[in-house]
Every structure is written in structure tokens, then in C-alpha cells.
Amino acid sequence: MIRLLINKRFYSYERIIFPEGAVRSDADVIRYMRFFRKPDDVSAEKWDTYRTPVIDLTESIETIRGRYSKELRYEVRRAEREEISYRVITDPDDAFLAELEKNYFEFCDSIDHKELKSNFDIEEISQMSRLGQVLVTKAEFEDGWAYHVYQADGNAAMLWFSIKKGNNKSLVGWANRGLHDFDISYLKGRGFSIYDFGNIASEDAPNSIDKFKMSFGGELKTAYCCFVGNTLKGRALIALRNIKNGLSSDR
């Protein structure tokens, strides 16, 4: 289970990822994320649901790879023939995270999605890293690289960010797929049970990223998430949030 306490100016907020049930917290607001079954002991006015491909890492690596699409298996084998090195950073320090932030922002510029930059909160990532809840893997090759950033708790790992750069687009693609295969094998070898690809936009009309994630053959599961007001102040904040969201949806 991943826990991150955030102290805002007027209230406290705790994000809890991969919980098994209700968690005792002193925060005003609790954000539960990644229940794969809706719990009986968590009372929430509204549940958010997401679909996500999940790989069961307790299965054999042969079984897991056997569910890869035919094209993906070819590209993973193709990556093996290239000069690509892989490494794992289990305790990224502030200097590494600053470099990662720079690369992430450059990647957002390169794909013309500058609005994604707001997703990278260096302070929160640094705090999670100090708690041992961030794992980074990297593929390096001639004139390029790929990074995968995970939120991880020793049992489950969820893909958080994936960025890449290189002049040879084919090589970049092979390295990125090879890195995912490396990650799956690495996490399985370290005793993890769950590899969560971190949501898809549509199961029925998948975009290119959705198709990529689904090509690894993971089971499509529903992830349940909710906000819970844990104090009188927290319950008031949740009520105001629900009113605001209701007004927005009516426009």
C-alpha cells in the first residue's frame, strides 16, 4: 500500500493507493485509489471507475509472455538484437529527479502536449521517493533513452510516466517495448504480484496508447477510486467538491 500525506494551507489530504480496505488516517480528506473490488467498509458518496490492463506477476514468465500480441513478441525479440542496456533506479535522489523532470518537460514539448507538464509534481515525487514508493527503469541506446516511472509498494507497481527520446523511431519503439518486458521480469523476480498499466481511455474504441498497453495481454480490470471526508472539515470539502462538479457537468 502506498500512502502520501499532503498538507494543504487549510486542510490535510492523504492519497492511499492499492489499499485492501478502509485505512485509519488523521487527514481531513482521504483519496482511495486502485481498489480492484469495491470494499464494504469504505463509505463514499461517489465512486470513480477506470479500466486498466493488469498483469498477474505470480504466473510464470512464459505464461505472461505467451499473452503478448504477435507483433509485440517480434518487437521484444528485435530489441534483444540491438545494443540496448537496461537499468533500475530504486532510490532516485533529488538530482536524478531534477534531470528526470527536465527530460519529461522536453518530452511533453516534443509531442506538443505542454499541458501534461502539470502532472509532474517534483515535490510530491521527491516525497514519495524518500518513502521508497518510486521505482524508475531506463533503457539506453545510441542517441536515445526511455524511462518508465512507477508507483510501487513491493507488491503492486503502477506505471506513472513513460517518456522516450531518440533519432531512430524504430529503435525507440523497440527499446520502449523491451524495457516494459524487462520491467515485468524484474518486478516478478522481486516478488511483486501486480503490474498495473495505469488506465486506458477506451476499451471499445482504443487509441494507440490503449492498444499498446493492451498488447501485453493483461486482464482488463475495473479500478475503483473515491474521496472520503474523514473529519467535519473534510466532509464539507467533499460536499463542496461534489456541488462544483455537478454544476460543471450541467453546463
Q: How does pLDDT run across 193-236, given as a tens digit for each residue?
A: 999 999 999 999 999 999 999 999 999 999 999 999 999 999 99
> What confidence tier does 44 reach under pLDDT thresholds 50, 70, 90?
confident
User: Is residue 39 domain-shared with residue 64, that is, in the same domain?
Assistant: no
CATH number of the domain at 62, please: 3.40.630.30
Q: Is residue 154 part of a domain?
A: yes
C-alpha cell at 230: 474523514
At 230 the three-state DSSP class reads: coil
Other CB atoms within 10 Å distance of the CB of residue 99: 11
Q: How does pLDDT run across 136-159, given as a tens digit for each residue?
A: 999 999 989 999 999 999 999 999
Rounded to the nearest integer, the mean pLDDT of the chain is: 93
Q: Is residue 90 part of a domain?
A: yes
Find the mean pLDDT for residues 185-198: 97
Show Cβ contacts of residue 19 under 8 Å, excluding neighbours closer than 6 positions.
1, 32, 34, 35, 39
> What confidence tier does 251 reach under pLDDT thresholds 50, 70, 90?
very low
> How much is the pLDDT for 249?
45
Q: Is residue 217 part of a domain?
A: no
Share of the chain above pLDDT 70, in %: 98
Number of domains composing the chain: 2
Q: Is residue 197 part of a domain?
A: no
> How much is the pLDDT for 247?
47
> What confidence tier does 246 reach under pLDDT thresholds 50, 70, 90?
low
Q: Is residue 10 part of a domain?
A: yes
User: Is residue 18 domain-shared with residue 122, that is, in the same domain?
Assistant: no
In this structure, what are the phi and psi dihedrals at residue 54, rounded to the nearest 5 degrees? Answer: -125, 130
CB 199, CB 218: distance < 8 Å: no
For 43, the domain range is 2-51+223-250
Q: How does pLDDT run across 155-183, given as a tens digit for each residue?
A: 999 999 999 999 999 999 999 999 999 99
d(C-alpha 20, C-alpha 77), whole Å: 37
Share of the chain above pLDDT 90, in %: 89
pTM of the model: 0.91
User: Is residue 71 domain-shared with residue 160, that is, in the same domain?
Assistant: yes
User: Is residue 26 domain-shared with residue 68, that is, in the same domain?
Assistant: no
Q: Is residue 84 part of a domain?
A: yes
Q: Is residue 35 part of a domain?
A: yes
User: Is residue 30 domain-shared with residue 65, that is, in the same domain?
Assistant: no
User: Is residue 149 domain-shared with residue 108, that is, in the same domain?
Assistant: yes
